[in-house]
Structure 1
């Protein structure tokens, strides 16, 4: 009771506002933290209501515009019909007025028609009919000294002169055209004569070629007969020469077994190839002796080559052993270097671990707990 006496109206309003904000926050939590109702933190029901309201407004606006367009079209059609009716009425009225004017208000029916008759001057006499017109007077200024009274005859003479000039030009043009046609005909005849001359020359050339071809064929035939005669004669001479050569071979030392025939007159070490009958036993023995010497020389060279190969093999084995020793030394040095690197890495790892322990124990003492992480995502703000 005592507390209620000291509560002010402002306190009640503030408590009501706090309670209202608390309820609004609880409702917001239910909308946001409820996975079934929220879609990325948006009130789908309110959005659906807004979309429906917007669609309804758009439909009403579309219906209002459609009605407005229909009314506008109806009024436009009515105005167009009215304009057509007025145009038709105005046209009929004008036709009736024109018909009345044609029947009852013609110009020749007026009293003063002779004053504005367009053909009045055509109907009246001219001011001067001729030089002998009695209406002409001195003060009328219709006849003067030096006036060209023969203007009409002069113009007729000028027209006749122009006509004669035109006829002369026409005759000259016709004559020039006839000359041109004659020139073209002459040129065509000259071209035809040249064509005929060309054809005659071509025919003469063909005849000359035929005669030359016939003479050439006769000459070739005569030449072929002469060559055939010479070939037969040469064949007979070749057969006689071959028979003489065969007889000479049969009677010469070529087919005999005389070894002296193969000796050349240029030296004792030379022979006549076509008369050579083969080697003598002494020459065969000499060749066999030379072959035996060559075989001994070949065996000696092979033995020397085997000795050289053994020496090279020994040198290669020594080189391989040296390379193997060097590889072992290099591998041992590599293992020693790897061991040094491993000890250095262990030392660096221990140093890094000591630094991490120092940071965890000395520098980063206030590490966050689960309470620090659980305070997030508890309100909607």
Structure 2
């Protein structure tokens, strides 16, 4: 008998479990289409992405912290600057108040030198030239001084006013004289314009008279030229008529062969006197024309015979073509009937095959368990 209750070997069980685990991992790698086609370690890439995102988040937080710290420092600097400005303002204000209270200009020792109203409040050093306060050493009276400055300026202003009045009157007088001169110039200019207009009218009348005389002269010349042309045309017509009459009644057109006989050689014809032919030459030309007419009739008879033969040949060829075309049509009908019979046989064979496949070969439809048996192992 076989012993079935024997204890199993732990090493074998561990090896079997290890092989099962490796097989599952291998199946997971093999049946993963993305991993199999791309060939990358997705877990490591995901870990790298998480680390990168963590680093970016840390940098973002650090930048935000730096930004907040900079804003805080800017606010502190702004507050300190405002405090410093306020302190400077208070200090300057106290300095101004101290100066206004304890450092007035009147309290300075040099005020008598810097007082702007010193001359207004003081006494004039001299009133006139014979001022009794002026002594020999006062140095207040000098040669060339003008104490009557106001009176002199007033007198000068009156003189200047009188001068301006005189100048205004002279200007008005000159303007009146200029107006009179302009009026006289306008009158003279109008008179000259009238004279020029009269001269222009006289000149136009002279030109008109010259034009009329020239037109009459040209008409006279034109009538003389027409008369000369009419006379010249008449002379030309007379000459042409006389030439036509001479030519018509000359020996050239009358074809008088007696005038064309050469005096040197009687057998020779003078061509500039007579351009006709003799009777022998005319008979020879007539005989040649009759021969050509007979040849033309013979050629026409031969051409009619050839056309008749060609029509007969063409009819025979047409009949043979019709017969051949009928034979080809019959052969085509016979081939089409053969192909139709063959296609019917093929259709019947195809129907029998489809019936066999449907009723015998594909009579049972596979269930879903049929497809689950594939790709169950990595081997």
Q: Mark yes or no: TM-score above 0.5.
A: no
Scaled by the length of structure 1, what TM-score is found? Answer: 0.39
Scaled by the length of structure 2, what TM-score is found? Answer: 0.39
